[in-house]
Chains A and B, each alone.
Chain A
Amino acid sequence: MSIASIIGQALVLFGTFFYVLSSLGLIRMPDVYNRMQTATKSATLGSLGVIIGVGIWAIGEVGSYSWIPKTLIVAVFLLLTNPIAAHALIRAAYKSGVPLWEGSIVDRYKEAESSLERVEEIKEKLEEPSRGVEINE
């Protein structure tokens, strides 16, 4: 077994651990926000481990360096897109009205949203007095 294989395999093992961890997080956390917290992070890190690990492992196993660039591309892609997806999802979850876990202690977003709405309301009233009545209803 070559060094590359050992390093690669270690990385894969590392990644696999976080993969399993992310699925556990998905199951154990109490609400969708916390599930995302745990699952996304470990899935991303797990991916980095597994995928780059495979690239390195392949040097030893298959004897080809051409795996490395491609696995890197996949890994970087996941590294870039997973947080974006998580962000889009958590925002969507919030906006679609999924409540925070009852143990949550603060919701700044809600406060900000309501004040923002008020601002917009006032703005519209000022711009179009005739339509202001409708909005009040």
Chain B
Amino acid sequence: MIEVYLFLIAVAVILSMYRFFRGPTTADRIVAVDIMTTLTTGLMVLFALYYRRAIFLDVALVYAVLAFVGVIAFARYMEGGL
């Protein structure tokens, strides 16, 4: 059953990728990235369950932290705040 959820989330990631490539503005792309990272975090957590390894949750956590700060960096760069 988990495979189905994994698949669906993967589909969602791919759909967001459409916005990433399509744009049209930089802001659109970064929003797409932001959403993709959120989805990916969920995907990773789900993978942890799939492999039955709690240690992968740490990976998801670090990923969430780095992705969040990364998005903030993009945002601040875009508004000229750096």
A: residues with CB less than 8 A from B are 9, 12-13, 15-16, 19-20, 22-24, 26-27, 32, 35-36, 39-40, 43-44, 46-47, 50-51, 54, 57-58, 61-62, 64, 66-67, 70-71, 73-74, 77-78, 81-82, 84-86, 88-89, 91-93, 95-96, 98
B: residues with CB less than 8 A from A are 1, 5, 8-9, 11-13, 15-16, 18-19, 25-28, 30-32, 34-35, 38-39, 41-42, 45-46, 48-49, 52, 54, 57-58, 60-61, 64-65, 68, 71-72, 74-81
Question: Which B residues lie within 8 Å of A77 (CB)?
Answer: 61, 64-65, 68
Question: Which A residues lie within 8 Å of B8 (CB)?
Answer: 16, 19-20
Query: Is A23 in contact with B12, judged by CB distance below 8 angstroms?
Result: yes
* Chain A proximity of B52: nearest CB distance (Å): 5
Mostly, the B contact residues are helix
Query: Is B16 in contact with A89, judged by CB distance below 8 angstroms?
Result: no
Give the complex CA separation of A58 and B46 in angstroms.
10
Question: Which B residues lie within 8 Å of A95 (CB)?
Answer: 78-80
Residue from B18, B61, B75, B79 within 8 A of A27 (CB atoms): B18
Query: Is B31 in contact with A36, judged by CB distance below 8 angstroms?
Result: yes
Give the complex CA separation of A64 and B51 in angstroms.
14
Residue from A23, A81, A84 within 8 A of B35 (CB atoms): A23
